[in-house]
Amino acid sequence: SAELMLRVRAAPLATRFILILADDRTEAVRVENVRRDFVANVSHELKTPIGAVSLLAEAIDAAADDPEQVRYFTDRLVTEAGRLGKLTNELINLSRLQSADSLEKAEILELRPIVEQAVDQARVAADAKRISITLAEGSGERVYADPGLLVMGFHNLVANAINYSPEGSGIGIGIRTVDGGVEVAVTDQGIGIAPEDQGRVFERFFRVDAARSRLTGGTGLGLSIVKHVVENHGGDIRLWSQPGRGSTFTVRLPLADADEVAA
C-alpha cells in the first residue's frame, strides 16, 4: 500500500526489510477483516431501506380508504426504493472499479469537457440551493481515461460540495498543469471536515454525520468511488479542509503523453 511505502521509506535501511515482512503477514488478516466489515456494512445499509419499504407497503394497505395518506406513504415508498437503487448502483460501481479491466474503455481525451459534464449533471441540485459553480478554462490538458468513470468521479465531488454547503454559497473548480500531470481542485465554502475525520472520509460507508448524510440521500460510498476512479487512472486525491470554512478536494491525474498516443 501507499501508506506502507511511506513507512518503509521513512524507516532506517536495516529495519525496512523487517517492516515489509511483518506487513505481509498482517496484510492477509487485514484484508479478511476489511472484507468482513464490508459485508456487515452492506447488510446493515440494505436493512434500513428494505425494512422501510415493507412497513410502508403495510401502511399503504392499512390506509386504503384515505387517499391523502396513501399518497404520503407512496411518496415515501418511492424515496426508499430510490435509495435502494442508488445504493445498489454504487455497490456495482465499486465492484467494477475493483476489477482489473476497469480501464478497458480508456481513451485520450481532454479533461475540461469531462469536468464540465460532471458539473452539468449537478446543475439541478446546485440551482435548488442557489449555489453558483465556477469552472476554470483549463489549457486543453489531455488524459488517458475512461470518460464515464471520470465524469462519475468528478460528479461525486461536485455533488458533495453542493450537499455539504449552505444555500447561496459558491463552488470553484480549478484546472492547472503541474509537474507531469494535471490537477483539478474542487473548492466549496461548506461545513468542512474536522482534522480527525479527514483521513477517514475516503473509507467505504464512512460518514461524519450518518443521520445527516442519510437525510440528503448519501450512502457513504461516494468518496471511496472517487478514490478508486482516480487511483485506477494512476492519479491521487488529496483533501484540505477547515471546519466552518470549507473543503478542497484535489485530484491529480497523469497527462496523456506520446507513449499512450502510440499505444
SS in 3 state form for 184-196? EEEEECCCCCCHH
Q: Does 80 bind ligand ADP (CB under 6 A)?
A: no
Amino acid at 43: S
Shortest Å distance, C-beta 32 to ligand ADP: 23
Cross-strand pairs, 26: none
Left if phi > 0, otherwise alpha if psi is -120 to 50, otherwise beta: which for 54?
Answer: alpha
Site size for ligand ADP (CB under 6 A): 24
Q: Which of 154, 188, 230, 256 binds ligand ADP (CB under 6 A)?
A: 188
Q: Which of 56, 223, 253, 256 binds ligand ADP (CB under 6 A)?
A: 223
Q: What is the spatial distance between Cα 244 and Cα 65, in angstroms, rounded to a whole number?
A: 48
The helix-helix angle for 222-232 and 147-163 (nearest 10°) equals 150
Q: Does 187 bind ligand ADP (CB under 6 A)?
A: no
Name which of 221 and 256 has its Cβ closer to ligand ADP.
221
Q: Which of 151, 247, 252, 253 binds ligand ADP (CB under 6 A)?
A: 247
Alpha helices in the chain (DSSP H): 2-10, 13-62, 67-98, 111-121, 123-128, 147-163, 195-198, 210-215, 222-232, 258-262
Q: Which of 138, 190, 227, 228 binds ligand ADP (CB under 6 A)?
A: 190
Phi, psi of 105 (to 5 degrees): -100, 20
Name which of 140 and 166 has its Cβ closer to ligand ADP.
166
Name which of 140 and 195 has its Cβ closer to ligand ADP.
195
Q: Does 164 bind ligand ADP (CB under 6 A)?
A: yes
Q: What is the spatial distance between Cα 135 and Cα 126, in angstroms, rounded to a whole number?
A: 14
Q: Does 155 bind ligand ADP (CB under 6 A)?
A: no
Q: Which of 87, 143, 160, 187 binds ligand ADP (CB under 6 A)?
A: 160
Q: Which of 208, 237, 251, 256 binds ligand ADP (CB under 6 A)?
A: 208
Task: For residue 34, give the C-alpha cell.
Answer: 476489511
Return the number of other C-beta atoms located less than 10 Å from residue 178's C-beta.
10
Q: Which of 38, 72, 206, 240 binds ligand ADP (CB under 6 A)?
A: 206
**56-64, 111-119, 126-134, 153-161 -> range binding ligand ADP (CB under 6 A):** 153-161
Q: What is the spatial distance between Cα 111 and Cα 103, in angstroms, rounded to a whole number?
A: 16
Shortest Å distance, C-beta 231 to ligand ADP: 15
What residues line the site for ligand ADP (CB under 6 A)?
Answer: 156, 160-161, 163-164, 188, 190-193, 201, 206-209, 213, 218-224, 247
